[in-house]
């Protein structure tokens, strides 16, 4: 009987706790063709203020502070960026001194065999800080860090020969932004997942990543519905750079249909996902 009384008391305690939940905010309706999330936008000392963002095939919007459905910053994708599927990412670094992170956006150029270009932008003004886009090269995405540990930030990326992709160079740009006496927080990359190349592709594509230490690595391929297509790699890998080839086949050896897919590389400490396009 005593145990029953205790159970009843606990039930009412937990029931009253859950009953205290109240809805704090409800956004306006967004199209199901949009993707939403929260991005760390403004740096305040050692912390970042997060904002709601919405991205669709035409634009990227960051909302006003707090719970808001009203855009404060908007970036409209050009035609090549629309073909790439609106791939815009935060660099997690303030490059302009306004304590707001900068972004980079990827674009696919061409009509049959696409090459990749990128721009680093100031989201508050739309100004282009760096653009890499020429007919003879396809570029990976940029990384901002102190590559040579001289206290000054560098921008690093790879440029592949286009359209054959036989060779590539590593390009390093000095930003002339010193870490000394600044509040800019830079996390040197310990895990890096590059954009696949070529992209879009047929019949196969390269997936490259780098590790700072030996660890277990799993590479998975998903379709747009989030369904697992194939586990491409699931082994212990040494530190350094690694390259895998996906031949657009499923786990049972069948060729997938044309369309967009995601590749996810995960370790016990990190996980990154990128989008790719297969065209028959």
Task: Encode pLDDT of 89-114 as tens digits.
Answer: 888 889 999 999 999 998 988 876 77
Judge whether 107 and 118 are in contact, CB under 8 Å: yes
Quick one: pLDDT band at residue 147, thresholds 50, 70, 90? Answer: confident
Full strand arrangement of the beta sheet holding 191-193: 191-193, 205-211, 240-246
pTM of this prediction?
Answer: 0.67
For residue 278, give every residue at least 6 positions away whose Cβ sits within 8 Å of its Cβ, in sequence order, or none.
Answer: 200, 201, 202, 205, 248, 256, 257, 258, 259, 260, 261
Give the tens place of pLDDT for each residue, 37-85.
888 899 888 788 999 999 888 999 999 999 999 999 999 999 999 888 7
Please report, for residues 163, 168, 248, the alpha-carbon distance to residue 140 in angstroms, rounded to integers and kept in the order given: 14, 10, 21
- Tens digit of each residue's pLDDT (9 = 90 or more) over 1-23: 555 554 555 455 555 555 689 99
Query: Residue 105 is encoded by which pair of tokens?
Result: 């956006």
What is the DSSP annotation of 125-137? T--EEEEE--TTE
Domains along the chain with CATH numbers: 190-280 (2.60.40.2550)
């Amino acid at each position: 009987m005593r145990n029953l009384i205790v159970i009843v008391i606990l039930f009412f305690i937990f029931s009253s706790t859950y009953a205290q939940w109240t809805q704090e905010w409800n956004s306006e309706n967004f199209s199901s063709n949009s993707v939403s999330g929260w991005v760390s936008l403004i740096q305040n000392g050692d912390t970042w203020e997060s904002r709601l963002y919405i991205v669709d095939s035409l634009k990227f919007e960051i909302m006003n502070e707090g719970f808001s459905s009203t855009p404060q910053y908007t970036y409209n994708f050009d035609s090549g960026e629309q073909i790439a599927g609106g791939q815009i990412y935060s660099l997690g670094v303030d490059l302009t001194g306004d304590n707001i992170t900068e972004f980079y956006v990827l674009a696919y150029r061409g009509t049959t065999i696409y090459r990749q270009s990128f721009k680093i932008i100031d989201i508050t003004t739309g100004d282009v800080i760096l653009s890499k886009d020429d007919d003879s090269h396809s570029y990976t995405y940029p990384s901002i860090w102190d590559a040579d540990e001289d206290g000054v930030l560098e921008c690093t990326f790879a440029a592949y020969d286009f359209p054959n992709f036989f060779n590539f160079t590593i390009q390093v740009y000095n930003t002339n932004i010193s870490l000394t006496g600044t509040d800019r927080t830079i996390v040197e990359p310990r895990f890096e997942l590059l954009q696949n190349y070529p992209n879009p592709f047929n019949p196969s594509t390269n997936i490259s990543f780098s590790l700072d230490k030996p660890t277990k690595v799993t590479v998975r391929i998903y379709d747009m519905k989030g369904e697992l297509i194939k586990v491409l790699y699931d082994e212990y890998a040494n530190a350094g750079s690694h390259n895998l080839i996906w031949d657009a086949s499923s786990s049972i050896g069948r060729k997938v249909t044309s369309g967009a897919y995601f590749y996810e590389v995960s370790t016990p400490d990190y996980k990154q996902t990128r989008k790719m396009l297969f065209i028959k």
